[in-house]
Chains A and B, each alone.
Chain A
């Protein structure tokens, strides 16, 4: 199973909005509404920001939102803040509990 495709890096200025894409196939992203997004700061464990494509866990800022169209899922962060600078990973359910991750996107807040 190949990794999902994410841009290596994205950047934005404080207050702006950015979108990170996550492209798979009809066997993963396109086939299930079980896409998650994780934020990882250097030296820390990943933290779930979005699950079930669009849902935010309790405690996650509403500046984070998720969507999906066809085989591509997206994470949008609005009102960028310095603390949003981190690596972001998408993941998708495949089958039998198997998951596949994206290669990760480094977000830089200028």
Chain B
């Protein structure tokens, strides 16, 4: 069965960076784009970007351009999302999600809470 298992909660200082991992199993990792979506407390879902695990190609939402980097390690079927220059409004749960195509997300990780402290 498809599973996406994310790394644990993080507490970071304002201005620091955070790197969240997402280990995939149960399907061909390189065959499907991996999306990253975040959700601030009490708020809706926000698309951050995607990575093509096969080529390493990425597409980031304009809002995060210059601050986000998505990478992957195909040898261990793991995708990563690094967000830099953290600020208080980056407090959110960050999800990875497998795309079945055309941005439609059929499996989600359990989420990783990132807390930013001053």
Q: Which residues of B does A touch, CB under 8 Å?
A: 33, 35, 37, 44-47, 50, 59, 61, 95, 97, 99-100, 102-106, 108-111
Most chain B CB within 10 A, of A47, A51, A94, is at: A51
The B contact surface, by secondary structure, is strand
Tell me if B106 and A32 are in contact (CB < 8 A).
no
Bound Cα distance from A25 to B5, whole angstroms: 35
Which residues of B are found within 8 Å of A104, using beta-carbon distances? 44-45
Q: Which residues of A does B touch, CB under 8 Å?
A: 3, 32, 34, 36, 38, 45-48, 51-52, 57, 89, 91-94, 96-104
Sample of 4 more A-B contacts, CB < 8 Å, known A45-B110, A92-B103: A34-B102, A45-B95, A98-B47, A104-B45
CB<8 Å pairs between A and B, sample of 12: A34-B102, A36-B103, A38-B105, A45-B109, A45-B111, A46-B45, A89-B45, A99-B47, A101-B44, A101-B45, A102-B44, A104-B45
Which residues of A are found within 8 Å of B110, using beta-carbon distances? 45
Tell me if A52 and B109 are in contact (CB < 8 A).
no
Which partner residue on chain B sits nearest A50 by CB separation? B104
Bound Cα distance from A93 to B102, whole angstroms: 6
Tell me if A48 and B103 are in contact (CB < 8 A).
no
**B37: shortest Cβ distance to chain A, in Å?**
8
